[in-house]
Amino acid sequence: MSGNTSKTNLEEYAMRHSMAHILASAIFRLYPNAQFGIGPVVDNGFYYDFLIPGVSLSDGDLPKIETVMRAIIKENLRFEQYNMAINDALSWAEQSKQVFKKELINDLKREGTTLFKDLNHDELGIFVDHNKTQLKEVSFYKDGEFIDLCRGPHIASTGLAGSFKLMRISGAYWRGKESNPQLQRIYGVAFMNDQNLKEYLAQIEEAKNRDHRKLGQELDLFIFSDLVGSGLPLFTPRGTILRDELANFSNQLRLEIGFEKVFVPHLTKTDLYVKSGHMAKFGDELFLVKSQETKDKLVLKPMNCPHHTRIYAFRQRSYKELPIRYLETTTVYRDEKSGELGGLNRVRAITQDDSHIFCSQEQINYEINNLLKLTQKFYKIIGMELRLRLSFRDDSPQYLGSPEIWRTSEEQLKSAVEKNKLDFFIEKGEAAFYGPKIDFMATDSLKREHQVATIQLDFVQPERFELTYDASDGSKQQPVMIHAAILGSIERFMAVYIEHTGGKFPLWLSPEQLRIITLNQEDGVVEFARKFEIMAKKRGLRVKLDNGNESVSKKIREVERLKIPYSVVIGAKELKLGLVTPRIRSDLYDGLTSNTSFNIETFIESLVYERDNRLARTHIK
């Protein structure tokens, strides 16, 4: 998700922060005995937590609260800042029965803070400054009758507030702790103007329609079963086609640049991960496997790299063989606390389009360059813009490998990215402990950013697994490993991609590419439709014939529900003329009318062309 508050401009931030106060002011007018928690700015808006003795709010109360908020905005009340001695502040809280504010002021007194130092509110509302400056005064803001402990900033007056909408009410424990009282949290969104708010609300509506869990069911892509378990999706025939086409395309691009497929078992002795170091680092996330017949200590693999080192190392390698490039579409297992119910974002069996290159230090540049080009090509066809994060080391001691190797490698990554004229930023301290990496962020059609592909350098696994090759000078050298994935997690990518496209997949990814519908069940009609179906199948198209006795309109509703790109109705007219008039899914015909007729050979070949040239669209002329 986008919306890192540190990147949002200050004006919008102050407006949203003021919006939280306006919400609190409204609650104060409506429920004078309300106790106030905290009210921070969040992505696209704000919230405020309240405890209103004897009152349980519901979403039905939101319009009433909005009305009071609008009144407060109309009154154009000034946001007045003033400081108060800390003990006076405590007396204020005591007097006005604001127990949560009192707790916060006591914390400030004990812990010390400068209050204004950091714009980032913490969701838990802990205003702690670790510099431990002795605090003498605290800051307050007042709008009308409502007074709040607050470090600001705010807009000058309520009349300057932008456009807002309250979204929902939920429960929230004070400071997020289950042992604390439960407060009522009201969420709102706020933007600088009506236009932006409208756009945002439309986007949310669209996101709801595109929710991959909803579409997954409507388009018949995947299911969950209580008997199988949460976070463990089963893919139906249609979903399996989408999975396979995506994975196959990633494979194809990699095979073209010299990768070779390998295959390793999912079940493995823990010894492998003790050796690799994963056991010490990720031991808690592993699924432990108990053999009832042997004493083997086994796990489900959380990573594939250690296995691939075993294939590399099964005989002594020569510099002449490098780079050695392995790819494998395979599943790793992570013992997630709770799988996201019904969704693909967070699963416990994660399929990766994993790749490992073993190469010499001198070959890194060439390999990275190839991987960059390949990733760009993939996302161009997928239709998502990429932004790259160069995740480099900082000065902390967690990074393994010599600083010299790090310096060179980080420079190699940076120069490769620059040479490819890619949009990138550097983030220090985000490297893996074993080497620097490039993380690819893709922006979807709803402007949300998702981390997808990755390219990582690794100096540590080759060391731990004592990998070597015979160099041209006869010496034994250690190869570098490059980890790469284009899709990343296929399940997560599918979630992103289903929402990106709203389930309107291009032809090459459509589980069903063409539906042939008979207008009636006359012999000649059905025969013609069957002939058509067989011809399309022969060209490898995924086609289905619907010659049931339902009405054509019912048959077409199914085509629309499944978002099948092309459909053709066959009746007496088509039979007579030998021509068909395809129905084209609206996003595909680029402004051309869909009223053109074709003989079936021409039509089939145009579909084949569109399928094989993944970016092709305007072939229907």
> Judged by CB under 8 A, which of 6, 56, 58, 338 binds a copy of itself?
338
By CB under 8 A, is residue 473 in contact with a copy of itself?
A: no
Residue 111 vs 271, nearer CB to a copy of itself: 271
What is d(CA 417, CA 452) in angstroms, rounded to the nearest whole number?
A: 17
By CB under 8 A, is residue 271 in contact with a copy of itself?
A: yes
Ordered alpha helix ranges (H), 539-579: 552-561, 572-577
What is d(CA 455, CA 357) in angstroms, rounded to the nearest whole number?
A: 11
Is residue 17 part of the annotated active site? The answer reads no
Is residue 354 part of the annotated active site? The answer reads yes
By CB under 8 A, is residue 239 in contact with a copy of itself?
A: yes
Residue 288 vs 341, nearer CB to a copy of itself: 288
Q: Give me the catalytic one of 305, 456, 458, 461.
A: 305
What is d(CA 536, CA 543) in angstroms, rounded to the nearest whole number?
A: 7
What is d(CA 498, CA 220) in angstroms, rounded to the nearest whole number?
A: 12
Q: Give me the catalytic one of 121, 154, 307, 334.
A: 334
Closest CA to 40 of 142, 150, 128: 150
CA 321 remoteness from chain centre: 38
By CB under 8 A, is residue 237 in contact with a copy of itself?
A: yes
Residue 34 vs 241, nearer CB to a copy of itself: 241
> Judged by CB under 8 A, which of 240, 478, 596, 597 binds a copy of itself?
240
What is d(CA 350, CA 232) in angstroms, rounded to the nearest whole number?
A: 9
CB of 176 to a copy of itself, least distance (A): 20
Cis check for the bond before 323: say yes or no (omega within 30 of 0).
Answer: yes
> Judged by CB under 8 A, which of 129, 206, 244, 558 binds a copy of itself?
244
* DSSP, residue by residue, 193-243: SHHHHHHHHHHHHHHHHH-HHHHHHHTT-EE--TTT-TT--EE-HHHHHHH
End-to-end, the C-alpha distance of the chain in Å comes to 39
By CB under 8 A, is residue 233 in contact with a copy of itself?
A: yes
> Judged by CB under 8 A, which of 139, 163, 184, 331 binds a copy of itself?
331
Whether the Cβ atoms of residue 611 and residue 507 lie closer than 8 Å to each other = yes
> Judged by CB under 8 A, which of 56, 314, 473, 553 binds a copy of itself?
314
Residue 152 vs 342, nearer CB to a copy of itself: 342
Residue 56 vs 338, nearer CB to a copy of itself: 338
By CB under 8 A, is residue 257 in contact with a copy of itself?
A: no
What is d(CA 209, CA 44) in angstroms, rounded to the nearest whole number?
A: 20
By CB under 8 A, is residue 341 in contact with a copy of itself?
A: no
Span near a copy of itself by CB under 8 A; candidates 65-73, 232-240, 369-377, 415-423: 232-240
Residue 293 vs 395, nearer CB to a copy of itself: 293
By CB under 8 A, is residue 404 in contact with a copy of itself?
A: no
* DSSP, residue by residue, 530-550: HHHHHHHHHTT--EEEE--SS
> Judged by CB under 8 A, which of 262, 405, 526, 552 binds a copy of itself?
262
* H or E segment and range at residue 403: helix 403-419
CB of 371 to a copy of itself, least distance (A): 19
Residue 223 in tokens: 């299911």
Residue 253 in tokens: 């691009």
By rule CB under 8 A, what string of x and - marks binding of each residue 275-294 to a copy of itself? x--------xxxxxxxxxxx
Whether the Cβ atoms of residue 255 and residue 272 lie closer than 8 Å to each other = no
By rule CB under 8 A, what string of x and - marks binding of each residue 570-609 to a copy of itself? ----------------------------------------
Residue 132 CB neighbour total at 10 angstroms: 11
By CB under 8 A, is residue 320 in contact with a copy of itself?
A: yes
> Judged by CB under 8 A, which of 80, 245, 335, 340 binds a copy of itself?
335
Q: How far is CA 537 from CA 28, 384, 421, 533, 534, in A?
A: 68, 31, 42, 6, 5
By CB under 8 A, is residue 474 in contact with a copy of itself?
A: no
| Residues contributing to the site for a copy of itself (CB under 8 A) | 223, 225-230, 232-237, 239-241, 243-244, 260-269, 271-272, 275, 284-294, 296, 298, 300, 306-307, 310-311, 314, 320, 326, 331, 333, 335-338, 348-349, 548
Enzyme catalytic residues: 305, 334, 352, 354, 356, 437, 483
